Structure 1
Amino acid sequence: MKEKIAMITGGATGIGRKTAIMLAQSGISIAVTYRKSKSEAEVLINELQKLYGVNCIAVQGDAADEAECIQAVGTVLHTFGKIDILIHNAGPYIHERKTMIEYTSEEWNYLISGNLNGFFYMAKQVIPYMRSQKWGRIVTFGFERSDTAPGWIYRSAFAAAKSGLTSLTKTLALEEAQNGITVNMVCPGDIIGEWKESSIDAANQQKDAAVPIGRPGTGEDLARVISFLCDEKSDFITGSVIPVTGGTDVLNKIHQE
């Protein structure tokens, strides 16, 4: 298979990092973007190059800033000449619980831009290259039931952005199907802390009664699904919103906390 290039936004840490590792294991070259995690990004690309022999670069770029998004894509294209896979993992999130009227305009705009507009900025630059080769894979991140535009108390900006991104994901899937480009969304369960970079084997050693399958979710759970969606033979799956939750009713659980 010809060398494939995957660009993963926010790929220096967490689920993005785990995804980068899994794709590199398949021989895919990796470009990760980061906002502040420069040292973590550099450690990751050195690890991928050493362990799997793939070409890798780390590029600074804030997903909420149009100029930085365009510059980051330009750097990857200048280095590799193409982008076959775009995974929009970056997504600003404010942990503090706030009602909508408590958000400042700056906070609101940053969350909308980082989660929704940033994807538009990058996809607009990448899709023409995918069209030219009649092949591409795009994966976005949502949240459980984001395809139904549910209410999420204290998370109004994030929920609004991700619900919009879900619709955009489905729209792009329809628009680009004839060009050999698939566009899908994955929706993580309640995966927190160190579990974002952990393995399924590690999770199987720990019980979690709050998850129906009985163990914590991990970054590997997401990375395995993303890797499948990026495969050559996954071309019949597009416009899908795939929950990876272990059966957890995530929103209901969060609302009860």
Structure 2
Amino acid sequence: MDTFFSNRSALVIGGSGGIGKAVTLALAAAGAQLYIHGGHSRSRLENTLQEVQQIQMKQGCPLEQQQHRILLQPITGSESVPALLKFAPEVDILVCAYGPFFKKDITHMTAEDWDYLVTMNLALPGALVSAYLESMIQQAWGRILLFGGTNTDSIRGFTTTTAYSAAKTGLGVLAKSVARIGGSVNVTCNVICPGMTETEYLDEQARRYALGKAPGGILLQCEDIAETALAILHNPHQNGTIIALDKGLVI
């Protein structure tokens, strides 16, 4: 039984659906105390909490000893950060599995489009990292895991996802910067860039596109990504890395 994180608290942004939920459940199985953030669906958030509780009860942790918390908070920008910090004032593990996405030709991107996508996908996780990093350094232990976008593990050109992809690529700079500061005191920060993944958020058109691009026509499963995420969070030596978890996808 994996109880590696039994004395650790973890905040998962976007933790009630898709990849974020899979990571939440993996952390629960490793014994962590969860702060689970969800953006839009209370029922989905509450169902996730129930699954977390059931996992830990099966491991012998009674419900009355569990201290998990949930927060339904639509993220609207940097003004959402104080509410998140009030919800989880100090954590040992930070996972940002959130980031809005839309396609638009680069010649049609407005200033508002740029501001929105860069704020949500880079400035928001950056602000959270800045807020939690000092306490992680002081206690000489911390784990930060950020989720990039498909094909954003290195600098590439994009014609219809330029702002989103630029912001997600920037997470690599954030991770490498944290590694420079935290590496000597057991604080790690890494980025996973998943490929085409099966989630409940795919509509039929998006799913057809993903299947057409996925190597072998097979989508990644959220649980497979969560397994890799947990291995990275375990590993004190993997720091400042950007992992393309996409089976060699080429777009």
Please state which band the TM-score falls in when normalised by the shorter chain: 0.7 to 0.9
Cα-to-partner distance string for 1:202-250 (whole Å, 9 max, x where unaligned): xxxxxx796446742110111001111111xx1111011111112322x
Residue range with higher mean Cα deviation, 150-159 or 55-64:
55-64
Partner of residue 200, structure 1: none
CA contact (8 A) 1:195 1:216 kept: no
User: CA shift at 1:184, angstroms?
Assistant: 0.6
- CA apart distance, 1:114: 0.8
Alignment of 1:114 onto 2:111? no
Q: How does 1:232-251 map to 2 (within 5 A)?
A: 234-249=235-250
Matches of 1:136 and 1:168, distance apart in 2: 15
- 1:1-257 alignment runs, 5 A limit: 3-53=7-57, 54-77=66-89, 82-94=90-102, 97-194=103-200, 211-212=214-215, 215-231=218-234, 234-249=235-250, 252=251
RMSD of Structure 2 on Structure 1 (CA): 2.2
How big is the shift at 1:18? 0.9
Distance 2:214 2:122 in 1: 29
Aligned length: 231
In the TM superposition, residue 195 of structure 1 has moved relative to its aligned partner by 9.1
What TM-score results when the alignment is normalised by the length of structure 2?
A: 0.84
Q: Which runs of 5+ in 1 are unaligned?
A: 197-207, 253-257
In 2, the alpha carbon distance for the partners of 1:193 and 1:147 equals 21
Hey, what's the Cα distance between the residues in 1 that align with 2:116 and 2:212?
Answer: 35
Q: Which amino acid counterpart does residue 125 of structure 1 have in structure 2? A: A
1:183 aligned counterpart, secondary structure: strand
Distance 1:75 1:23 in 2: 18
SS, match of residue 240 in structure 2? coil
Deviates more, 1:45-54 or 1:155-164: 45-54
Distance in 2 of aligned mates of 1:111 and 1:33? 20
In structure 2, what is the Cα distance between the partners aligned to 1:103 and 1:192?
Answer: 28
Instruction: Give the distance between the partners of 1:63 and 1:139, measured in 2 at CA.
Output: 19
Letter in 2 for 1:88: C
AA matched with 1:221: D
For the 8 Å contact 2:143–2:233, the answer to whether it is kept is: yes
Q: Which amino acid aligns with 2:193?
A: C
Moved over 6 A (4+): none
**2:19/2:199 contact within 8 Å kept:** no
- For residue 24 of structure 1, report the CA deviation from its aligned partner: 0.4
Partner letter of residue 139 of structure 1? Answer: L
Comparing 53-62 with 102-111, greater Cα deviation is found at 53-62
Counterpart-to-counterpart distance in 2, 1:214 and 1:161: 28
Residue type at the aligned position of 1:121 = A
How far 1:60 moved relative to its partner? 3.2
Return 5+ residue gaps in structure 2 as ranges: 58-65, 203-210
